[in-house]
């Protein structure tokens, strides 16, 4: 694995704009589709950085313990994107490749902020690889600031 820079980013504000979407908890019926989209979204980065395994989730069983924290955005019974919320942390914000560039990432981020704000007002954090410049730019545009920079070595 090549060394990788990871940013911790923080959203200190108490509110965010309206998401304009409705997400639902991931359920067993969508596990396989979610697994494929997740692996597809992170494949290029993991391959470029030499991270193995390239596909994180080998099968749907690897996801079953995370069901209560993963929320999906659907269109005609297909997953457009998803986001995970763990306490005050946003994780694994993904958008299906064919749906990228249409504002779904921004909407999922807003939805996650609102979801977390229903529970508490503490600063919201997320972690993102420097390699993922589009995500870093989105998070900055939305009010997140880099609070920590960490170099991860093999």
Using pLDDT thresholds of 50, 70 and 90, give the confidence band for residue 54. low
Count how many domains the chain has: 1
Sequence-ordered strand ranges (E) for 45-88: 70-75, 78-86
**pLDDT of the residue at 55:** 63
* pLDDT tens sequence across 20-48: 999 999 988 998 899 899 889 888 888 87
Instruction: Give the whole-angstrom CA distance, residue 22 versus residue 90.
Output: 17
Q: Which of 1-15, 38-52, 79-93, 129-143 has the lowest mean pLDDT?
A: 38-52
- pLDDT at residue 150 greater than cutoff 90: yes
Domain with 99 in it: 4-152
Using pLDDT thresholds of 50, 70 and 90, give the confidence band for residue 16. confident
Instruction: Give the whole-angstrom CA distance, residue 82 versus residue 6.
Output: 21
For 105, the token pair is: 């990432």
CA distances from 13 to 1, 87, 139 (A): 36, 16, 13
What CATH number is given to the structural domain containing 22? Answer: 3.40.630.30
Peptide bond into 53 cis (omega under 30): yes
Count the alpha carbons within 13 Å of 29 in the hemisphere toward its beta carbon: 7
């Amino acid at each position: 694995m090549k060394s990788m820079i990871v940013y911790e980013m923080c959203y200190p504000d108490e509110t965010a704009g309206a998401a304009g979407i409705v997400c639902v908890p991931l359920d067993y019926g969508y596990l396989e589709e979610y697994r494929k989209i997740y692996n597809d979204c992170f494949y290029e980065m993991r391959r470029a950085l030499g991270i193995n395994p390239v596909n994180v989730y080998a099968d749907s069983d690897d996801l079953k313990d995370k069901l209560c924290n993963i929320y999906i955005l659907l269109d005609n019974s297909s997953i457009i994107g998803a986001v995970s919320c763990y306490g005050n942390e946003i994780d694994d914000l993904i958008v299906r490749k064919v749906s990228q560039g249409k504002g779904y990432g921004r909407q999922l981020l807003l939805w996650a902020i609102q979801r977390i704000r229903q529970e508490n007002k503490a600063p919201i954090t997320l972690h993102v690889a420097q390699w993922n410049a589009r995500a870093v730019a989105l998070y900055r545009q939305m009010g997140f600031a880099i609070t920590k920079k960490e170099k991860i070595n093999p």
